[in-house]
Amino acid sequence: MNAKVSGPFTLPPLPWDEGALDPVISARTMSFHYGKHHKTYVDKLNELSAGTKYAEMPLEKVVVEAAKDESAKKIFNNAAQVWNHTFFWNAMKPGGGGKPTGELAAAIDASFGSYDDFKKRFAQTAVDQFGSGWAWLVVNKGKLALSSTSNAATPIAEGITPLLTIDVWEHAYYLDYQNKRPDFANAVIEKLINWDHAAAQLRGAGSLKAA
């Protein structure tokens, strides 16, 4: 697949093959989700930002700055969706899931009681998000927390560091799970979570405060 588009923003390559997450996420779903939805956000961002100050910014800065600019709402929506999707792909890996280790495992136990309690609450956060959006594990004010955002909204626009996310827009799961969002959320958590990615984000966030 050609990942390049015209303009300053490009569609990043997937960190694994389109079929690598099968059977949790099928190659057919990925061909639509990445090859069409994600690519469309990139193309639209290039179209909307052409000739504006946003065309000269790195993607993450576009998200943060456009979030504060009511006249740039469409730019924000598309930039944030490009960023969110790229983060989502990296937050998963073939053969992922299971329990984290090290500092992250200790932080999850301290914040949520146990890994099993975290897993249930993370899945429920995804299920409870009304309509389209995202479920997140984040570092907020030095502590781990779970949150959800609607549509294109993203923690980085609020200065909050995400560690993991689950996309709960219907196009993320409907071909494979139809209306069974809980099954999708649980499968991603149990079989695909990339704890190495989460641990790297945690290191970048700095020290956690004691629970």
> 200: closest CA among 86, 91, 84?
91
Residue 167 marked in a binding site = yes
Q: How many helices (H) and strands (E) in the chain?
A: 9, 3
Give backbone dihedrals phi and psi of 135, rounded to 5 degrees, phi first: -110, 140
Task: List Cβ neighbours of 161 (8 Å cut-off, separation of 6 or more).
Answer: 138, 139, 140, 155, 201, 204, 205
Residue 171 marked in a binding site = yes
Annotated binding site for Mn(2+): 33, 85, 167, 171
Annotated binding site: 33, 85, 167, 171
